[in-house]
A = this chain, B = another copy of it.
C-alpha cells in the first residue's frame, strides 16, 4: 500500500519534474500549477492512512499549493481543512494568528494568517504541505498551532528535499513527519530518492 503510493508519486516526479538547479525541482505539471486530481486523491488516502489513529480534528496548510493535498487528506479523515493565507498588510491583526515565513525560493518574507475562530485549543492538527526544504513554512504553521494552544499531531509532506535541513531539524525536535517522496539529491540534473 505504502510502496504503491510512493511509487506512483516517484514516477510522476521522474517523468514530469524539472530540475532547475541543484536545489530547485519544478513540479508544475501535477502539483504546483497544474494538479493531477487522481494523484492528489491517492496522496490524501495515504496521509489519512498514516495519521488515521491520531484523532485529527483539523488539517492545516498554506495557500496555494498545499490546498489540493490537504483537501484530499481532510476529505478522507472527515475533518475540515484550514489554509493559512498570505497577507501583505494586515488591518485586523487581533482576529488572526500571524506568523512570518521566509521563502528561500522566492527570497521574500510572507506574513501568513489564520483566523482565531478556525483554530482553538480543542484542536488536534495535522499540517500538510507540498514541499519541505528549509522548513520555514512548516515552522510558521507550527507557530500558528502553538499560538492557538492546539496540539500538533504531525506533518505530512508530499515531496521532501532531504538534502536541505528542515526535515532533520523538525524530526530532532520530536515532531512526526511523514514524507511521501524523499529526494536526497538534485545534483547534475539527476533526481535521487532515498
Contact = CB atoms under 8 A, between A and B. Distances in A.
Interface of A: 28-30, 33-38, 40-41, 63-64, 67-68, 71-72, 74-75, 78-83, 85, 114-115, 118
**This chain: copies in complex:** 2
Given A28-B115, A28-B118, A37 B67 contact: no
Given A63-B63, A63-B64, A33 B82 contact: yes
Contact of A74 (B37, B114, B118): B37
A102 to B, nearest CB: 17
Contact of A67 (B29, B67, B78, B115): B67
A36 B72 CA distance: 11
Contact of A71 (B29, B71, B83): B71
A81 B35 contact: yes
- From A35, A75, A115, residue with most partner B Cβ within 10 Å: A35
